[in-house]
Amino acid sequence: MIPSKAGAGQRVMKEVLEQLQRCHWINHDIFGVHLAMQEALVNAIKHGNRLDTRKQVHVICRMSPELVRIEIADEGSGFDPSKVPDPTDPEHLEHPSGRGIVLMRNFMSRIEYNDVGNCVTLEKSRAPAE
Amino acid sequence: MAGYRRLEVNDVGDVTVVRFRDQKILDDLNIQELGQELFQLVETENRTKLLLSFSGVDFLSSSALGKLITLDKKVKANAGVLKLCQIRPEIYEVFAITRLNRLFDIKDDEADALAAF
């Protein structure tokens, strides 16, 4: 569990990334997991828990040498990810926010929200060695 | 010149070249501070030709992208020019996925970028 404040979650992220390095994942995929996890944590803290320090973010990581699965849950009321505007739409291109989910989808093998929208599962399968 | 905590600012002719002191631009508090320093260059110091060099930056979150977009608007409002350079491939991929490579003028290296002003 991590508190809902800026910068929280870096320790757990560091552990995940170090484990990926030990298993010799390629740098591109380590970068992708790092970015997706960072975006999901910020979303949980900022949007899910609205920076309410009374609320926690729950993180569960499961790893094998070939797969990493990270569940990040906030204590907020959830949202509908399908209603988030497409940030690549020219109409939204210059909005200062709203890109986290697109980045998560592109860098991970799979992302899935629960029905309520307050828990996201990020999954990345290891790429073949270069 | 004002001291900057998050930026290294130098002048090359009439172009302001900005480098980032942080290798990883991800912490929200640092990003807020970084944004304020970038905006100060335009709004307080009236710099109109800005080159942001990402050499040494190996991570960038979407919150930082937001600051760059706001900076771009401020530069344009001042009739200025903003260019970016030396973005490593994974970070360029972030710009490409979000289509921001169409918004920003991104050059491979500093020399190319300076020549393009």
Q: Identify from A14, A31, A51 which residue to disrupt to test chain B contact, counting B C-beta atoms within 10 A and taking the largest count.
A: A31
What is the SS3 string spanning chain B? CCCCCCEEEEEECCEEEEEECCCEECCHHHHHHHHHHHHHHHHCCCCCEEEEECCCCCEECHHHHHHHHHHHHHHHHCCCEEEEECCCHHHHHHHHHCCCCCCCEEECCHHHHHHCC
Task: Please tell me the distance in Å from B111's CA to the nearest CA on chain A.
Answer: 27
Reported as a pLDDT band with limits 50, 70 and 90, residue A120 is very high
The model's pLDDT over B30-71, given as tens digits with 9 standing for 90+, comes to 889 999 999 999 999 999 999 999 998 999 989 999 999 999
Ramachandran angles phi, psi of B51, nearest 5°: -120, 120
A21/B contact by beta carbon, under 8 A = no
Residue A43 has pLDDT above 90, yes or no: yes
Delineate the domains of chain B, giving CATH numbers in brackets.
7-115 (3.30.750.24)
Q: Which amino acid is at B69?
A: I
Residue B1's pLDDT is: 47
Reported as a pLDDT band with limits 50, 70 and 90, residue A7 is low
Nearest by CB to residue B73, choosing from A34, A39, A94, is A94
Q: What is the pTM of this model?
A: 0.90
Q: A95 contacts in B (CB within 8 Å)?
A: 69
Torsion of CA B16, A98, B5, B111, to 10 degrees: -30
C-alpha A116/C-alpha B87 separation (Å) is 37
Asked if B65 lies within 8 A of A99 by C-beta distance, the reply is yes
Residue whose C-alpha is closest to residue B55's, from B105, B101, B21, B96: B21
Asked if B62 lies within 8 A of A7 by C-beta distance, the reply is no
C-alpha A43/C-alpha A66 separation (Å) is 26
The model's pLDDT over A83-101, given as tens digits with 9 standing for 90+, comes to 988 888 888 888 878 899 9
Reported as a pLDDT band with limits 50, 70 and 90, residue B109 is very high
Residue A126 has pLDDT above 60, yes or no: yes
Nearest Cα residue in chain A from B27? A7
Question: What integer is the mean pLDDT of A20-39?
Answer: 94
Instruction: State the complex-level ipTM.
Output: 0.88
* Percent share of chain A, pLDDT over 70: 94
Residue A11's pLDDT is: 84
Please report, for chain A, the start and end positions of each structural domain, with discontinuous segments joined by +.
2-125
Count the Cβ atoms, other than its own, within 10 Å of residue B87: 22
Residue B24's pLDDT is: 83
Residue A127's pLDDT is: 84
Residue B79 has pLDDT above 60, yes or no: yes
Q: Which amino acid is at B40?
A: Q
Question: What integer is the mean pLDDT of B63-82?
Answer: 94
A103/B contact by beta carbon, under 8 A = yes
C-alpha B72/C-alpha B38 separation (Å) is 10
C-alpha B65/C-alpha B31 separation (Å) is 10
- Out of 3.30.565.10, 3.40.640.10, 3.50.30.40, 3.20.19.10, which CATH number does the structure's domain A2-125 have? 3.30.565.10
Question: What integer is the mean pLDDT of A8-32?
Answer: 90
